[in-house]
Structure 1
Amino acid sequence: MMNHFRIFLTLPFILLLACGGGGDPKPDPENPTTPTSILNINTSNTFQKIAGFGGADGIFTPTAYLNDTETEIAFGTGDGQLGLSIFRVKLPYDQNDWPLIANHANNALAHGDVKILASPWSPPPALKSNGNGTSGHLLRENYSAYADHINSFINFMSTEGVNVYAISPQNEPDYEVNYESCDWSSTAMRDFIKEQGGSNINAKIAAPECFQFDQTYTRALLTDDDAVQNFDIVAGHIYGGGLEPFPLAEEKGKEIWMTEHLYNLNTGQSGAIPWEQRSDEDKWDETMQMLSDIHEAMTYNWHAYIWWYTKRYYSFLGDGTEGTTTNTILKRGYAYSHYSRFIRPGYQRVETQFTSPRDLKVTAYQGDGKTIIVIINDSTTPVSNISLTLNNETPSAMKLYKTSLNIDCEMTEITQENDLITFSINSSSVLTLVID
């Protein structure tokens, strides 16, 4: 079940009467500034270090490749930018495609502290059982040759100035499709990493990248004494499942990365209503689901969250289709930036202590002398008069960034008043608080 932080707070008295406030505490009529909810951030109790928040390159869609302006927007950390810190690229089996990948990765690296994750959809067809890039499996006698292919890509990227931080042996080894792909059993993935992982590959290894974070695959890697030493990151996708704690991965000292997910109101399905014809409210509701997924992943001690295409009509930057405009941040991008722009690689999640009867989703992080708090209110009820303390002391000031259906990462500076620092959160919205 999702971890919720409970907050004990009250709306103004008349609103409580209108809404049937039940047993919620009532504000003090003699002191209307008395906080009706208290949030304390305890930085002495720490959890996982964050590797980053990212998005993918165009992969199979040339119109989803980022131009120079879009790359700066995606990876820059200033106002009106997204602050992505992981860029997922394809490892093509055709070496003629490698220069294009290097060019895109270099552009991303030029705009910030960015990690490159490369994922192959298929090994070279000559190494596979069926001799083509669709389906089939990697022949066991070609494990070493495939490791050489991966290293050739890593080395080529290095000569082009790109450090490949992590590499995956296979995108979605458990998902049979009729486009570029390769089938791997959990045993085959384990054996490949046992035999060819570790120092044989010149980057960190992220595996198994299953479609639904299949525990059969992760357990096969984590419970084998040789395989577990030969890879670094437990990676997977959460299409329809797999968003859950991974205590065994934590026990084995592995980072946990969510490396692909998307929502698009099912517009890819036959007969679906086109995205352009869907209401802004429908799109925002789905964006709130994305934010809730990220929150849940963070509370499960996951280290990274990577969306699918960075540039697409249902993603962070418009691609010129379905009524979107290129070089422009979409609503979903502003929402995602509440994590990606402010929570930088190396920041550490810290404890939140909340008292209130209403559900809000809250996580907090520290790094670079800052404390970052992300709060999601996915209910239809606004929450007002929340008092904030940091290690039980009141900050003198903070910046509050807000995104909702009608607001795009709007910043407000808040200072102490009557020895308190208080804020509110609208219904169906997300806040990021920044305390220097």
Structure 2
Amino acid sequence: MRAWKQPVVPSLPGRSGAPRLFDTATGTEITTTPTDAVRLYVCGITPYDATHLGHASTYLAYDTLLRAWRDAGFSVHYAQNITDIDDPLLERASATGVDWQELAESQIELFRTDMETLSIIPPYHFVAVTEVIDDIAEAVCTLFDAGVAYRVSTDDSLPAPDGTPASDVYFDIAAAERVSPWRLGDESNLDRPTMLELFAERGGDPEREGKRDALDPLLWRAARAGEPSWPSRVGPGRPGWHIECSVIALQELGADFTVQGGGCDLIFPHHEMSAGHAAALSGRPLAGVFSHAGMVGYKGEKMSKSVGNLVLVSALTADGADPRAIRLALLSHHYRSAWEWTESHLSDASARLATWSAAFSASAPAGPGDTTAVLQEVREAIANDLDTPSALALVDAAAQTGVTDPALFRSAVDALLGIEL
């Protein structure tokens, strides 16, 4: 699938060090030094509503990481999925009377536009689930043949082409733990009661009769009337949620890649189960670091489609907001923090942008601040678990005093923070 236009990222003299990231699995910071090339997978959107600031904040966090890796001289392979077949998308399409494929494509195009507007570096591999259904179906069959998946009978599924009853297919957590390096809880560090609560809230079905474990996740949903379905050796149907990312990540990046990223609402069950599926398929861990961005709230609640309290990037820009100010407003919060959006964030960021633009313009006079020294401090802040608030404070200070080489510093702000002045 086509991604979006690559922003121009200036090259800078010198190098950053390899960035350190907080790893949810171990609760420690890990230096992300690759053995060959850096490999990053970030979970993409389900395209039934446009890009809100929570999305933008997450993808901006990993854009910052990509810029730090590139500044450190690493080759980067970046993959991202699009969940263009899932229950929420089908439900929205049904509720609005729009064909689900048309709804998905329209929202994917709006997402592309928003990402390009915000100067987000695109993934090299931008993969829609519907592009790899056959591969996902075969992975489900592989797990089933290996005894790591099982059938659960259904009352409402369509019969298979040969007339035999169809059934859903579930991942067997206990079996996977016996044959792979993965253990339930390795990534999330959650206790079972919390897992059960989150599983029920986030698309799981702990009460489903016939499952071997309440937490066993769906791998393949048997075909139902009025739903899209695809053929497979386990019967016609469509993928469950987690297996899609396991298959796409393994195909595009291989096992044990550098960083798995996404919002913190994906820690459980999505990233936990994706890691389990991948380990059962490959015999190796999914990723070296599991990194998660904090949630952005609005009007007292987490910004989400289900609540409906969305602040859309496209709406802000349509109202005249400078995309660079939106980007600065998001960068002013540490990517792992939870915070609430208010209109003052945009006005403050606009004022900061005006100050920076004047201080580092082509006609700005040189000042006493050593450009090379300040650049190094900005690099160190970003390498320290993407500490963009500290990086912005350093640029603020440089704008007040002036720097010896405003042109170079202008390029540094563009390269490392994505703000073209």
| TM-score, with structure 1 as normaliser | 0.31
Give the structure with the higher percent helix: 2
TM-score for the superposition, normalised by structure 2: 0.32
